[in-house]
Chain A
Amino acid sequence: MIRLILRRLGLGILTLWFVSLVVFAATQALSGDAATALLARTATPERLAALRAQLHLDDPVWLQYVKWLGGLVTGDLGRSMATQKPVAELIGLRIGNSAFLVLVAALIAIPASMVIGIASAVRRDRGVDHVLTMLSLVLAALPEFVIGIALILIFATGFFHVLPAVALLDDTRPIWQQFDQILLPALTLDLAVIPYMARIMRASMVEVLESEYVQMARLKGLPQRLVILRHALPNAIVPAVQVTALQLAWLAGGVVVIEYVFRYPGIGQSLIDGVANRDLPVVQALSLLVGGLYVAFNLLADVVTILVTPKLRTSLQ
């Protein structure tokens, strides 16, 4: 089992390395002479030279990559070209804000999708199930920003004026005391991920409920609650873990547009500002972070799956 996990870990690190290649190729290498492109009309020979030196543009491409990767590994993310501040300092606080938003969203989404998935599996092909299936079909189709703006239109303007339309975080107060600011963005994220998670939970539960050991438990006369919680749920949850981890990784990307909708000061907002200013070091650091999170969550899902699946746990010992 340890060997299996180690192999998976090695594969994860390899993927991460390729992710860094893609990020570098898509930004620095693709833009050719990035300095000329970035400065455009404001280019003077001195500024061009300074920027070339900052991005190591006078080196061959492979050496640029090695220097950039070396910087990343030692924690030097470079300097923002728009503000000249270190990228790490610029995004440090914002990572915390985004992480908190994702955490709140996940704490709502995980139990909610489990309850919804189980409820529709138990009442399969009945009214509740059909309504939930249709609802999830609609929600799964809607782009995040449409859900977000719809929530703003409903809860922050016009009909009910109860929640703020933009998240005005006060940096001087701890973020968990500003819960009202986070509720709408978190709810938007939830509405985007719950349909997928609930659908998998339902499918997995439906399969388990038809199994012989669940029939057996029913025949023994166990109450429905006990059959579902004790016998069905532990077996149905394994496929759901995988999807949940992937959806959590998706949340890291999903925050990008949603933070922009609510002007929430997180990494998504930074990424969009970075793209607008063509601030390559910021964009590189953040896309690498999001890609890295996906690889990490994927790895986590695989390790958990190995740990909870007896067949895998005992093989390759």
Chain B
Amino acid sequence: MSGIPGVQVAAPTAGPKALRAPWLQTLLASSRFARTWIGLGITAAVVAVALLGPVFAPYSPTEFVAPPYEPPSSEAWLGTDNLGRDVLSRFLWGGRSVLGLSILATVFGLGLGILVGLISAYTRNWIDDVLMRAMDVLLAFPQIVFVLLLISSVGPQLWLIVVTVGLSHAPRVARVTRGAALEVVERDFVRSAEALGETRWSILVGELLPNISSPLLVEFGLRLTYSIGLVAAVSFLGFGLQPPAADWGLMINENRIGLTIQPWPVALPVIAVGLLTVGTNLITDGIARAAIGIGRSSAA
């Protein structure tokens, strides 16, 4: 049946369209959904503010421009913060750290989780059992508690935030990876790769990984959303960037006492972090829908 012209088949030999990587196909398919575009728009706007903000900031983020908690005025458009610094400037400077740290943490956590999941799925012996039970134990800690646990012994360090947030993602990613890879392991091309004497590493990376790239793309979006929330929360709790740095989480922490008289230094970063997570989650949902192929007929 696969020879009929115009009929799309999943076989890898069926023309240039099917030669595209699964994750790329999923990404293209996700563009059918309105939510993907809405999410993309929101995310792009917040990322633009975070990246380009410093260029447009009227003052330095650490410059004292007026008395503390001044309401918006012509000098400081959104007023001043707890120490009399310009709220708008600090906001425009404060997005880079949240963005950078959460992307690094996501990449680290995803890499580690994928590695563990692939090894588990491919070996399926005692190594699989040990790895998966170890992941179960790590799952017992809510992510923020796990992050705080490590910060308490090492102290607030930026690299530690990346490592701990990443580590807290790893068991969740490993489970998804293993689940997806288990089906692929059974297929003939893995057997033939083994027969050809390919190394284990090249089977994991060259044969298994490309075939589960689509669920992993969804996982990346999901983990990025949670990373942003976790990184911002750690800063908000006072264990992230230290004063006088300009950082969205830290801004909320520093100014929440003055919430009733000057809401802007709290409201702006809260809105930005909220929009960013909603944006990435909308994109992820679009991709997830494309990955499992729902709503193909009734794209909404």
Contacts A272-B237, A275-B151 known; A149 to B270 CB distance under 8 Å? yes
* Residues of chain A contacted by B280 (CB below 8 angstroms): 141
Once the chains bind, are A252 and B142 in contact (CB under 8 Å)?
yes
CA distance A283 to B147 in the complex (A): 12
Measured between C-beta atoms, what is the minimum distance from A29 to chain B in Å? 9
Once the chains bind, are B142 and A276 in contact (CB under 8 Å)?
no
Measured between C-beta atoms, what is the minimum distance from A294 to chain B in Å? 4
Which residues 143-196 of B have a CB within 8 angstroms of A? Answer: 143-146, 148-155
Is B277's beta carbon under 8 Å from chain A? yes
Is A131's beta carbon under 8 Å from chain B? no
Q: How many residues of A contact B (CB 8 A)?
A: 54
Once the chains bind, are B278 and A149 in contact (CB under 8 Å)?
no
Is B115's beta carbon under 8 Å from chain A? no
Once the chains bind, are A157 and B263 in contact (CB under 8 Å)?
yes
Measured between C-beta atoms, what is the minimum distance from B275 to chain A in Å? 10
Which residues 232-289 of A have a CB within 8 angstroms of B? Answer: 249-250, 252-254, 256-257, 260, 271-272, 274-276, 278-280, 283, 287
Contact with A along B213-238 (1 / 0, CB 8 A): 00000000000010011101100111
CA distance A252 to B228 in the complex (A): 21
CA distance A18 to B134 in the complex (A): 8
Cβ contact of B140, chosen from A138, A144, A257, A291, cutoff 8 A? A291
Is B91's beta carbon under 8 Å from chain A? no
CB nearest neighbor in B for A29: B153
Question: Which one of A260, A279, A291 has the greatest number of beta carbons of chain B within 10 Å?
Answer: A291
Contacts A143-B229, A149-B266, A280-B153 known; A275 to B144 CB distance under 8 Å? no
Once the chains bind, are A291 and B141 in contact (CB under 8 Å)?
yes
Contacts A145-B233, A149-B256, A290-B141 known; A31 to B263 CB distance under 8 Å? no
Once the chains bind, are A271 and B148 in contact (CB under 8 Å)?
yes
Question: Which one of B151, B153, B228, B229 has the greatest number of beta carbons of chain A within 10 Å?
Answer: B153
Once the chains bind, are B141 and A153 in contact (CB under 8 Å)?
no
CB nearest neighbor in B for A22: B137
Contacts A158-B263, A290-B145 known; A31 to B153 CB distance under 8 Å? yes
Which residues 282-307 of A have a CB within 8 angstroms of B? Answer: 283, 287, 290-292, 294-295
Contacts A143-B232, A143-B273, A150-B274 known; A278 to B155 CB distance under 8 Å? yes
Is B281's beta carbon under 8 Å from chain A? yes
CA distance A49 to B258 in the complex (A): 43
Once the chains bind, are A287 and B149 in contact (CB under 8 Å)?
yes
Once the chains bind, are B154 and A30 in contact (CB under 8 Å)?
yes
Measured between C-beta atoms, what is the minimum distance from B254 to chain A in Å? 13
- A-B residue pair count with CB separations less than 8 angstroms: 144
Cβ contact of B145, chosen from A140, A150, A271, A280, cutoff 8 A? A271
Cβ contact of A31, chosen from B154, B267, B270, cutoff 8 A? B154
Cβ contact of B153, chosen from A30, A130, A257, cutoff 8 A? A30
Q: How many residues of B contact A (CB 8 A)?
A: 49
Once the chains bind, are B141 and A287 in contact (CB under 8 Å)?
yes
Once the chains bind, are A141 and B151 in contact (CB under 8 Å)?
no
Once the chains bind, are A146 and B277 in contact (CB under 8 Å)?
yes
Question: Which one of A141, A254, A287 has the greatest number of beta carbons of chain B within 10 Å?
Answer: A141
CA distance A165 to B144 in the complex (A): 23
Which residues 120-145 of B have a CB within 8 angstroms of A? Answer: 133-134, 136-145
Which residues 1-36 of A have a CB within 8 angstroms of B? Answer: 15, 18-19, 21-23, 26-28, 30-31, 34
B interface residues (Cβ-Cβ under 8 A, vs A): 35, 133-134, 136-146, 148-155, 225, 228-230, 232-233, 236-239, 252, 256, 259-260, 263, 266-267, 270, 273-274, 277-278, 280-282, 285, 300
Q: Which 3 A-B pairs have the closest CB atoms?
A: A253-B142, A143-B229, A141-B281
Can you show 9 pairs from A to B with CB atoms below 8 A apart? A15-B137, A31-B153, A137-B35, A138-B281, A146-B274, A157-B259, A252-B142, A254-B142, A287-B149
